[in-house]
A and B are shown apart, each in its own frame.
Chain A
């Protein structure tokens, strides 16, 4: 029975979960990045999460790499191994280490545990002439432990480290490799042709593929790596990247660039988004296409800067005074980050509205392997030609139309004069005080929602079609919810999940279908108040019977969901 249980939880696949821990500045992040690449090149699938403190040196940071021979979409809590440079990481994480797991560390560490593998990492590094290569010695040992060949190490070290550091680090890896015998075996066949990237990089690639020409932002964790991405590719991909003086400037710049015809985007986290909200409404009333990315972190105010939460949902769907059409898309995984970012830019242009992308620290900073992303498969929107103005019929930026969308002219591209206004305005963009015009313009703008609603993508269904228990979630918790459903269904095929990507306006068809069928709905959310459940209730009058909520800044894991269900079901 014990063996059966093991196979059920691991699905019969070779999957491992290791943690690398130390203080900020110990080089754990660099080590993890190189190790990830070596595992990936050897054919592994990976899902890596990064947990770090809001400090540059000291404290305790860790990277948790889950890898194996199957695609992975979430992290797990139980660890097969820990590599640590200090006792603190051991103490912090050893309760999660499995009985037959290992702790890999330097021989000098005061760790008294039968699972410890203590090796002379420091001595070897010192003998090689640079104590800093200690992590490379350990990398070699880890690769050997999992029987990963060293085939790719040289190329990866060469392309990622400074030339004068290549040789010594390769020696260190080789020395580490010779320190012990292999203990695990991975049935890996060939080098993977998958991509390995973070959520923020996938958003960046999606925007580039959609023809982004302008990105403005103020650095704010965990959105900053998006700014870094666009800066890195500014010249080659023809993207003007402006680090604004504040988020208010960032969003107003993006709106200005978009008015001038450039595909434009801004990105921030909740605090910066709070500063942006007036301009969000400006995009709405002036009908200037805009995509704003909110990479969420726990709030309110400064909150938990380097950690994760999904607590901005109800904020972004109602942010800014007044009423105007908008769309909110929650990014569920790295593939979504690419395709949905491109789609958001197209929808913003098509409906001339602000579109908000909701990501979070977990998705932004986690890396995973995914099948290739195709630039040719993204949705583009080609603007129809604006009418040619004549003296008798000048161009009207806000011409009243059947679907509420007015033909868009770009200043300087024709004789048309393009006049936009944050004040209420008439068809030509002229400021107005008229009650009649006000009614026409409000109706015109809100009418665009009718078209937009027809484009909504229903939530992805996962699990058993005849399920009696339905989990609902949105955004980055999707991977963990799917894996939890798979595990639950191994016992009884009773579980299903609806995973929302498009979340505002809320698509309701599939939800209503399952609502009629299931006995209970359980909302699974990374926030304290159950914001998705609240939105569902508001839009459909459907109530969730149970909630699994987490708001400690650490992402809901598969295990958290299983435990949550067990808690109100009693065992499984």
Chain B
């Protein structure tokens, strides 16, 4: 058997971290999809999850905290031939990068966004993240939110996202299905992946999630936006996982046909005579 195209480097994660299952699943999915590593760009911000691109043999872009999405969409706009996948955490995506999260949903650039959501700040050792449980609903000896918790799926659907899913690092089969569907979705695809932080989150543990996650019913209609909004509000004793909402909508590229023909933007050339004609229009 030949060596798979995508392999892993040694990581710096804590033993037992949910990230191991996620990187293993992602590596498997990428190998299944048979895209050559040099055509895949893995983008991250800052945080434990954001280090994912450091540990997979592909193009890697480790940017600034919270700023992975603007860079990722620009990479895709510059070269539409590339498969662009963001791996980063809940703090990076929803806290520091909240404004970019909202507005890149609207752009619908064909990128995939995997949020490793452990409901805590791990790299900075245990502060509450936007998605941490509300203190009045949890054992508040753990980091928790005095105010409301950020509901990424509800907000993503409301903001116009065209692919919104949730999965769990403890269910690799489900996770692989979600990752594959998200990468293949034309447009911005969000998968919020619940994962335990074994070092700092004593509330949202592996057992906590295992007990609560429940795949969507067979008959669930992911194209019904109102039903999806309602489903996105379920987050408690039961946590639905699966594709909550999906629609076919024009991507950024489809809305800019003049920039997205067969030649990627990065390879386009303008005739010098056309440039000079533009200059001469100021005579």
B-contacting residues of A (Cβ < 8 Å)?
A: 192-197, 201, 205, 208-209, 211, 213-214, 216, 233-238, 240, 242, 244-246, 248-250, 252-257, 259-262, 264, 278-279, 282, 372-376, 410-412, 414-423, 429-431
Contacts and interface: CB of A to CB of B under 8 A. Distances in A.
Given A245-B99, A279-B67, A411-B38, A262 B282 contact: no
A569 B237 CA distance: 83
A394 to B, nearest CB: 9
A214 B79 contact: no
Interface in B36-80: 36-39, 41, 43, 46, 51, 53-54, 57-64, 67, 70-75, 77-79
A257 B78 contact: yes
A284 B78 CA distance: 21
A50 B274 CA distance: 30
A410 B38 CA distance: 10
Contacts of A415: 36, 38
B276 A375 contact: yes
Contact of B46 (A279, A417, A422): A422
B63 A422 contact: yes
A240 B265 contact: yes
Given A208-B278, A238-B265, A374-B279, 4 more contacts: A214-B77, A238-B268, A253-B74, A415-B36
Contact of A261 (B39, B43, B78, B276): B78
B103 interface: yes
Contact of A412 (B60, B63, B79, B103): B79
A257 B24 CA distance: 29
Contacts of A249: 67, 70, 99-100, 103
B4 to A, nearest CB: 14
A412 B82 contact: yes
Given A260-B79, A261-B79, A411-B79, A253 B70 contact: yes
Given A201-B282, A235-B258, A414-B38, A260 B75 contact: yes
A260 B283 contact: no
Interface string B89-120: 00000000001101100010000000000000
B266 interface: yes
B251 to A, nearest CB: 14
Contacts of B46: 422
Given A209-B275, A257-B74, A422-B64, A238 B9 contact: no
B1 interface: no
B60 A282 contact: no
A412 B270 contact: no
Contacts of B272: 209, 375-376
Contacts of A252: 63-64, 67, 70-71, 74
Nearest to A389: B38
B259 interface: yes
A460 B108 CA distance: 48
B67 A262 contact: no
Contact of B59 (A240, A418, A431): A418
Interface string B244-269: 00000000000010110000011011
B54 A235 contact: no
Given A213-B268, A249-B103, A240 B82 contact: no
Given A236-B274, A414-B38, A256 B71 contact: yes
Contacts of A193: 283
Contacts of A236: 274, 278
A412 B58 CA distance: 10
B280 interface: yes
Q: Which of A208, A249, A376 has the most CB of B within 10 A?
A: A249
Given A261-B78, A412-B81, A422-B62, A240 B259 contact: yes
Contact of A431 (B43, B54, B78): B54
Contacts of B77: 214, 240, 242, 257
Q: Which of B46, B58, B75, B99 gathers the greatest number of chain A CB atoms within 10 Å? A: B75
16 contacts: A192-B283, A193-B283, A196-B282, A214-B265, A216-B70, A242-B74, A246-B99, A252-B70, A252-B74, A255-B63, A256-B72, A257-B74, A260-B79, A372-B280, A375-B275, A416-B38
B105 to A, nearest CB: 11
Contacts of B79: 260-262, 411-412
B266 to A, nearest CB: 4
A195 B283 contact: yes
A376 to B, nearest CB: 6
